[in-house]
Amino acid sequence: MEHNAGSFQFGCPGHVNRRQFLAGCSACAAGLSVASLGARMVAGAAAGETAQPPICSAKPRVRLVFSHIPPDRPCWPNIGYDYEGRKKELVELLRTKCPNVEFLPVTVQGAEQAKKLIAEDADVDGYLSYIVGIWTGVPAVLAGSGKPTILVDDLYAGSGEFLIVYAGAKRAGQKVVGVSSSNFDDVVEAARLFEAIKKLQNTNLLAYSPRDLGPTAKSIKEVFGTTLVQGDNEELNAALDKADRAEADRIAEGWMKGAEKIIEPSADEIRKCARMYLGIRDLMSRHKARAITIDCLSLFYTDKLAAYPCLCFWQLNNDGYVGACEADTDSTITMLVMSYLAGCPGFISDPVLDTAKSRIIYAHCVAPTRVFGPEGPTNAYHIRSHSEDRKGACIRSLMPLNEMTTTIKFKPGSREMIIHQGKTVENVDDDKACRTKLAVEVPDARKLLAEWDRWGWHRVTFYGDQRRRLEDFCALTGVKVVQEG
């Protein structure tokens, strides 16, 4: 373990999209969803007694700027073009497809007007610059505003100015994403990035560790706007002690019935983990947090933690929240970002390289069993002891094979994100090391040997090809993308 700190589908492809995921979260606002983990992990524990940690309901306020010259001048798209009709059509489309974004439409026809607009727009979250006509100078001014900006080429209308301004903005390192596509859903996906950014800015991340997390909290706040709340370690065991034992027993029963195998842990140990789950859920509610990370190894090894939180984190991640190991705040914020971007849980791991087979094997004792999101299918799992000390209870998840995965980690302190991708090929069965071992085939495993000293051992793996939305998110938040391998 590491000891340092067509139809538009926004979510994981083919399973649960972002709108469905967030709608599900809103629907259970009266209580944190708890499934029994039977065949489809449904209809289980009584979850209504504890308030669900809130999700940000504030809509991002996005200035929708249309730019074009007067219609009586010859230029692309053409003289006499119906700009007003086109703008009305685009506003209606955006408001219909992005109901959680507040668009503020305006037409700007020159650079000086754009500068005046920026001066008056202190409270907007960003700009969507829709170029419906060319050579106004407006897109370049917006790109240089310092706010997240999406430049959109309305094909055959804004192409010349879009190409020049976007290339220059990227070269200058400005917070800009460009969309030049005949598929309007590409515009929608880009616009929805503002939703994820807004939610991160209004989210609490709860951490329990004997280490001072102040510097980490500062960097996370600066990059993502997320508030890290460092809890008192004594809260953890107190919360476990106060948990409703009858409810915990119902949850534990569901976990055990859903397992393909239970190998080492006793039923009593699993029930204790269920009490910890209820306690952690209560702490998250009290601290208004949607993510939690615990320095589990340090606290358990020194008898300051009554049970491993592995099963707790597994259930939270299946339910659409974030439970992260070892007070690894970088991996926790990584999982939180992706929960808002794609509605998918992450798999934190200690990777092992097998260059003979060109594989990277992601190994850990916490892993999701709903890898495509809370409403997606559930894969088989075993309940095992924690690997290193053969104590407690954890999950061996038998995750889907022949699927593309995207493995990343954000490093807020340096404003970077590392990324590599591969295809799942095997759930490795070996008694050594952590219980879940997911093997992924990559083009050349030797090329993945270069970055571990700078980034630490942990990586976080997500199902699906998430590269484009991650690169666009990084562009809007000023994060550098580092290609691993």
List, for residues 21-39, the tens digit of each pLDDT value: 333 333 333 333 333 333 3
Q: Which residues contact 84 (CB under 8 A, 6 or more apart)?
A: none
Q: Residue 452 CB: number of other CB atoms within 10 A?
A: 14
Q: How many angstroms separate the CA atoms of 130 and 12, rounded?
A: 28
CATH number, domain containing residue 78 = 3.40.50.2300
Q: How many CB atoms lie within 10 A of CB 168?
A: 14
Q: Please check the confidence at residue 405 and state whether its pLDDT lies above 80.
A: yes
Cβ-in-10-Å burial (0-12, 13-18, 19+) of 229 comes to middle
| Amino acid 54: pLDDT | 54
* Average per-residue pLDDT for the chain: 90
Could you tell me if residue 9 is inside a domain?
no
Q: Identify the band that residue 1 occupies on the pLDDT scale cut at 50, 70 and 90.
A: very low
Q: In this structure, is residue 1 part of a structural domain?
A: no
Residue 28, judged by CB atoms within 10 A of its CB (0-12, 13-18, 19+), counts as middle
- Report residue 240 as tokens: 């476990």
Residue 124 and residue 249 in one domain: no
For the chain, the residue count is: 485
187 is a domain residue = yes
pLDDT band at 19 (very low <50, low <70, confident <90, very high): very low
What percent of the chain lies above the pLDDT cut of 90? Answer: 83
437 and 476: one domain? yes
Give the model's pLDDT for residue 304: 86
Co-location of 136 and 192 in the same domain: yes
Decide which of 177, 196, 215 is a domain's last residue: 196
Q: Which of the two residues, 395 and 28, has the higher pLDDT score?
A: 395
| Residue at a domain's end among 196, 220, 238 | 196
**What residues does 461 pair with on adjacent strands?**
347, 407
The residue segments making up the domain with residue 130 are: 61-196
Quick check: 313 pLDDT over 70?
yes
Question: What pLDDT, in 10s, does the model give residues 48-85?
Answer: 333 445 566 789 999 999 999 999 999 999 999 999 99
In this structure, the answer to whether residues 183 and 208 fall within a common structural domain is: no
* 181 plus 216 within the same structural domain: no
Assess contact for 71 and 157: CB atoms under 8 A.
no
Q: What is the pLDDT of residues 452-473, one digit of tens each?
A: 999 999 999 999 999 999 999 9
pTM for the model stands at 0.89
Residue 188 sits in the same domain as residue 260? no
Q: Judge if 190 and 337 occupy the same domain.
A: no
Look at residue 402 and tell me if it is in a domain.
Answer: yes
Q: What is the mean pLDDT of residues 153-158?
A: 98
191 and 251 inside one domain: no
Q: How many domains does the chain have?
A: 2
**379, 371 contact by CB (below 8 A):** yes
Average pLDDT, integer, range 250-264: 98
pLDDT of the residue at 451: 95
In a domain, 2, yes or no: no
Scored b (16 or more CB within 10 A) or e, 268-299 reads ebbbbbbbbbbbbbbbbbebebbbbbbbbbbb
Distance CA 26, CA 54 (A): 9
